[in-house]
Structure 1
């Protein structure tokens, strides 16, 4: 399992390829064919996960009851949101056009380590989100971690 942290400003090339920052790339565990799992986030961002993290979640989903219509609808929506991408020898991943459009990604993007996964954001959208969150950060820190500051 990789531990990802930090905020990096990165560039997309004309083909929609993103070079992962060296610190994040070095935290990636070995995976078959350098595969990573890229999905639409619940917010307007993309989530990049390792093979191991994706398989853990898939295992949990496999235990859900497929005779339940809500489960089937959820799984359909869940798996439609994710694709496998391959990191090339230069450390780049190709982001498909539909995912670029979903996250409103253009030339410059923010790549953020979030513990067990990586988020890829339109920098302006992330900055707006950050301003909203900072207002409540101290309260959340205390509520979730029991700490002040």
Structure 2
């Protein structure tokens, strides 16, 4: 199993490209090659999936009933702007302008590994979304990690 983890400070080059951190690149599944899938996140960030992880998510979303209006709205918004990106031999890949605007990413970014995916954040926005109160974080850990409360089966791969 390949596990994407860690936080990495990155700078965009003048062409709007980021360099995929070496540790992230090394943990990508081999079958992904140098291709990744970039989508808008639920929060104001971008989400980068290896192709194998994206395939699992894609199948779940496509399995929703297209004759249900809510499902169609979800599919439309979920796939909006989805793009395949390729990184070069040094790990550089481009962030389309519309995606950078959505996430508020201008010159700097933080890449956060979250197991099957990475999130790409504007550093200030990322800090706003982190839990600052350790007691609140502890309560969430207790809620989600105790045997009494198994995680619900959502869209996560």
Output the TM-score relative to the length of structure 1: 0.90
Deviation by residue 1:15-70 (Cα, 9 ceiling, x = unmatched)? 11000111011001124662101011111111000101111112112322112222
2:37 matched to which residue of 1? Answer: 37
Tell me how far apart the structure 2 counterparts of residues 27 and 133 of structure 1 sit (CA, whole Å): 31
2:108 matched to which residue of 1? Answer: 108
Aligned residues: 147
User: Which moves more between the two structures, 105-114 or 66-75?
Assistant: 66-75
Tell me how far apart the structure 2 counterparts of residues 3 and 56 of structure 1 sit (CA, whole Å): 16
Tell me how far apart the structure 1 counterparts of residues 18 and 4 of structure 2 sit (CA, whole Å): 17
| Unmatched tracts of structure 1, length 5 or more | none
CA-atom RMSD in angstroms: 1.8
Tell me how far apart the structure 2 counterparts of residues 104 and 93 of structure 1 sit (CA, whole Å): 17
Deviation by residue 1:102-130 (Cα, 9 ceiling, x = unmatched)? 11112221111111100111111111222
1:21 matched to which residue of 2? Answer: 21
2:150 matched to which residue of 1? Answer: none
- As a proportion of its length, which structure holds more helix? 1
Tell me how far apart the structure 2 counterparts of residues 133 and 96 of structure 1 sit (CA, whole Å): 35
Please show how residues 86-125 of structure 1 align to structure 2 within 5 Å.
86-125=86-125
2:80 matched to which residue of 1? Answer: 80
Output the TM-score relative to the length of structure 2: 0.85
Which secondary structure state, in structure 2, belongs to the residue aligned with residue 49 of structure 1?
Answer: strand
| Unmatched tracts of structure 2, length 5 or more | 148-157
